[in-house]
Amino acid sequence: MKIKFLPAFNGDCILVSFEYENRKRNILVDGGVPRTYLRHLKPELEKLIQQEENIDLLIVTHIDDDHIGGIKELYQDAALNKDFIKEVWFNSGDLLSDYFNSARESIRAVEIIKTDQTNMSVGQGVTLEKALKEEKGNWIQNLIQVSENKISFLGLSITILSPNEKTLEKLHDHWETEIDKKVTMSEEHDDFNVSISELIKRKFKEDRAVPNGSSIAILMEEGSNSILLLGDAHPTVVSDSLEKLGLATEEKKLKIDLVKVSHHASKGNTSPKLLSLIESSKFVVLTDGSKHGLPDKESIARIIASQPNCNIYFNYDDIPKEILIPEDKESYPFSFSLLSETDYSIEL
């Protein structure tokens, strides 16, 4: 299994490749911000098409622009035939309306200006839904949510750990008001000069953003390999799922080969509780550090303190150069790696 973490600016764009029945298979998870598509994602997709490969599954984790923007650009690209995309998972506004037995609102069909600066993430989701409806039936129009049943997919076993029905209902109720929501979070890396020892003493406060709570998070297993792709999911949802599904306890941790850290290592999305349930030597942080002061060193400190000798990978080079102070390396065993040195890929 090979996992490629494309440079998606402040967003996520992940390509998982593996072999099944003597063919290379590919799963694309998110598309980053809109400009990710032309700069990084489209060239990658064109290579796959030239090699007569498919995107066997496209997962759109949630409606925020830094995850859905590049996917919207993909579906607006008239020059690219979308037949190579074989299956799509996306929890759209109409699916939520149908699931919760309420009328479909016309406001969910609003077109959104193409810009990386928009905060209107809900509208972005609607635009994609319209494009998906024009395709040839490859969109699985059932809500993707936590289930006791693992999904068998081309030799993989996929367990949905987020969202649950409660977080989906919150998104459904919140859909119309999200359009006018403004981002006011600090753009500063305000904890980079604080030691890991001090940061892990801080009380954890969970992210409350409704779209993040609706994010799809999955455990993907292939033979002895396993990866945890957390999107922007809320850690209580993921940890509750791990326990309720019987996958992990604090006494018997779930061993994972690689974890994609939730929400670009925001301090509200990596909890001590979640880290107490898992054991991994590889964690991946995806962001260029350009938005909302992310990553938070507080989140990375929790990982380092709870996962001895772990290696944390970054897809932009500047962050690991800035984030540490001398005391950190003296107090904890860990290492940082740059994905740029391995074609942005990790092989398991």
pLDDT, one tens digit per residue, over 17-59 is: 999 999 999 999 999 999 999 999 999 999 999 999 999 999 9
What band does 137 get if pLDDT is binned at 50, 70 and 90? Answer: confident
According to DSSP, the β-strands at 310-314 and 156-162 are unpaired
CATH no., domain 2-347: 3.60.15.10
Tell me the whole-structure pTM to 2 decimals: 0.93
Return the pLDDT at 180: 43
For 223-243, what is each residue's pLDDT tens digit? 999 999 999 999 999 999 999
Give the whole-angstrom CA distance, residue 73 versus residue 269: 27
Average pLDDT for 87-112: 78
**What is the Cα gyration radius of the chain?**
19
Domain ranges of the chain: 2-347
Write out the H or E segment, with its range, that includes residue 245.
none
Token pair 């080969």 in the structure block, residue: 257
Q: Who's near 332: CB < 8 A, 6+ residues apart?
A: 196, 304, 305, 308
According to DSSP, the β-strands at 88-90 and 254-256 are unpaired
Q: b/e for 185-200, b at 16 or more Cβ within 10 A?
A: eeeebebbeebbeebb
Token pair 């068998």 in the structure block, residue: 152
